[in-house]
Structure 1
Amino acid sequence: MSDDDDDDQADSDTNLFDGSLDGPDSMGFGPLVPTESERSLMERVRQELKHELKQGYKEKIVDIREEILRKRRAGKLPGDSTSLLKAWWQSHSKWPYPTEDDKARLVQETGLQLKQINNWFINQRKRNWHSNPSSSTALKSKRKRYSLSGLYSSLESYKH
């Protein structure tokens, strides 16, 4: 390689990294386009950086994954408690909205907190009840009756 080749390479390196990739170079030509070897080098550098980042964060990612799995397991209710909740659910499948008294009794029987029972019923209805076509029809008719009765009572109180 001659000295002229070294100078050309130095000029090429300067143009590549001097921020002039977007606009014309110093000779008035269009934007610089990296050569195949430059693209190959940039891709290798990108892959090496990606690999180093993965290695640097791998332990942290494993720790976070374990914490998520631990919390997911911790969120499961005891089987005997869910059996009692499911039994109530099955005996009230047409309208699975426990009253406050029902909830208080379930708190005593299951040993769960009221919030856990409320959440269980919310999730159970979302997962199992609304997907049942006959239940959703029953729900709509009950809602309609309740909203109409509320409307009638509002009208009656307005008259007086």
Structure 2
Amino acid sequence: MTSQRTEPSVTAGERDMLEGWLDHHRETLALKCQGLDDARLRLASVPPSELSLMGLVRHMAEVERIWFRKVLAGDDQGPIYFSDEDPDGEFHLTERDTWEEAYRVWQDEIAVARRNAARAALDDIAESTHGRKGEAPSLRWIYTHMIEEYARHNGHADLLRERIDGATGH
């Protein structure tokens, strides 16, 4: 696991800038989870919300899979944690769910995301549609959406972590 974040360049070209900010946010979420045991990573520390740090990591594994596999590459492997019967399954954790497994799955999905994105130009249109409008987005749009998704959930992670042990920052 990372103990540092890569700071995005302030002068990079567009693609490097987008990839830099996405990696920055991926690393931020990992930092928010660093140093906690499985029990605290599973803890939904802001009732009545079911959000937990491990749940957020599992959610982001799903999001990486959906946007970079299913939508961008047209490779629908199906969901990892959720189902039609349990659409929020990534947040429904049990004692059997571990950080080691959640982190590995998340990193595996990030690796696939990087490979799939490397094969496309920013203006390339995805193979599949997803979302409210049912339109196939460009890779540029997917990068922008992913940065937004991580930024929003990193805000949640800030609050969860502070509630667990008082840690702030990163």
Between the two structures, name the one with larger relative contact order (CA 8 Å, sep ≥ 6): 2
Q: Whose Rg is larger?
A: 1
- TM-score greater than 0.5 by the shorter chain: no
Q: 1 or 2, which has the higher helix percentage?
A: 1
TM-score by length of 2: 0.20
